[in-house]
Amino acid sequence: MRPKVIVNCAVSIDGKIALPSRRQTRISNEEDIARVHRLRNECDAILVGVGTILSDDPNLTVKEKYVQDARKPLRIVLDSNGRTPLEAEVLKGDAPTLIVTSEGCESTFGQAEVARFGEDEVDISSLLSHLYEKGVRKVLVEGGETVIWTFLKEGLVNELKVFVGSMVIGGVRSPTLAGGEGAAAFEDIIPLVLTKSRQLGDGILLEYEVKR
Ligand SMILES: NC(=O)c1ccc[n+]([C@@H]2O[C@H](COP(=O)([O-])OP(=O)(O)OC[C@H]3O[C@@H](n4cnc5c(N)ncnc54)[C@H](OP(=O)(O)O)[C@@H]3O)[C@@H](O)[C@H]2O)c1
């Protein structure tokens, strides 16, 4: 058994999720930021890859300003080789954190819990089973492009929520909603079903179910 997986991402209209330098930029508007905090609060865990930790240093918590009863979802980082800096925001504060490395990695991260799955990179299917056993029923994947592609490719995503900000970022090297190797052929394309769309401030929120 596995938890439900929701991917949430903010993109420019050309599908980019950050600047060509991979530095974070503001794509969401205030309405979307509030929506994301409410969504985080409904989830048991919030997951990112170590690439997002290194480029954005997010704290992955629920801000009390946006929700009534802020919970403390488990913060999870996929980090095969233990590259999460000890001063990372995700290791601060009182929300619990789980750093997931590959089996050969021996790094530890202060008070954070560590789990080890997979040989070269984290085996996310095993991780999800482990999370389910721990009582985690809903996981929010917030990026970045490599991790989102892996979840989609492995057929582990139930829902995809995309906020499209009214802007163009451009740049062939800018990260996009899904990176990795991408589809090699038509059969590898990830089919989606559009379930909802609505204007959110000056942007658009698109909600999809993943077909497989
Ligand atoms: N606009 C948005 O909503 C949004 C949200 C988040 C991030 N971003 C942007 O996304 C960019 C970061 O994306 P990214 O692709 O560099 O980083 P990422 O997807 O956050 O992390 C990728 C890294 O995770 C590790 N990893 C471990 N196990 C993995 C597995 N099974 N599958 C995939 N990755 C695994 C790998 O590093 P190891 O091999 O070292 O383990 C991999 O390089 C930044 O520019 C950030 O600003 C945008």
81: domain range? 4-210
Instruction: Convert the pLDDT of each residue in 69-92 to its tens digit.
Output: 999 999 999 999 999 999 999 999
Q: What value does the mean pLDDT take over residues 126-146?
A: 98
Q: Which atom of ligand 1 is nearest to the CA of 56?
A: 47
User: What pLDDT band is residue 148 in, cutting at 50, 70 and 90?
Assistant: very high
Q: Is 48 in the pocket of ligand 1 (CB under 6 A)?
A: yes
Cβ atoms 117, 102 nearer than 8 A:
yes
Q: Is 175 in the pocket of ligand 1 (CB under 6 A)?
A: yes
Please provide residue 140's backbone torsions phi and psi, each rounded to the nearest 5 degrees: -105, 115
- Please report, for the domain that includes residue 188, its CATH number: 3.40.430.10
User: What pLDDT band is residue 211 in, cutting at 50, 70 and 90?
Assistant: confident
Element (H, E) at 133: helix 124-133
**Look-up of token digits 């890859």:** 49
Ligand 1 mean position, distance from CA 68 (Å): 30
Q: Is 144 in the pocket of ligand 1 (CB under 6 A)?
A: yes
Mean pLDDT over all residues of the chain?
Answer: 97
User: What pLDDT band is residue 164 in, cutting at 50, 70 and 90?
Assistant: very high
Q: Which residues contact 45 (CB under 8 A, 6 or more apart)?
A: 3, 73, 74, 75, 76, 98, 131, 136, 138, 139, 140
Percentage of the chain beyond pLDDT 90 is: 98
C-alpha 69: how far from chain center = 22
Q: What value does the mean pLDDT take over residues 127-145?
A: 98
Domain count, the chain: 1
Instruction: Convert the pLDDT of each residue in 10-69 to its tens digit.
Output: 999 999 999 999 999 999 999 999 999 999 999 999 999 999 999 999 999 999 999 999
Q: What value does the mean pLDDT take over residues 142-154?
A: 97
Q: Which residues contact 19 (CB under 8 A, 6 or more apart)?
A: 25, 169, 171, 174
Q: Is 97 in the pocket of ligand 1 (CB under 6 A)?
A: no
Ligand 1 mean position, distance from CA 166 (Å): 24
Ligand 1 mean position, distance from CA 88 (Å): 15
Q: Ligand 1: which of 23, 53, 145 to mutate, judged by most atoms within 8 Å of the beta carbon?
A: 145
* Positions of E strands within 23-67: 45-49
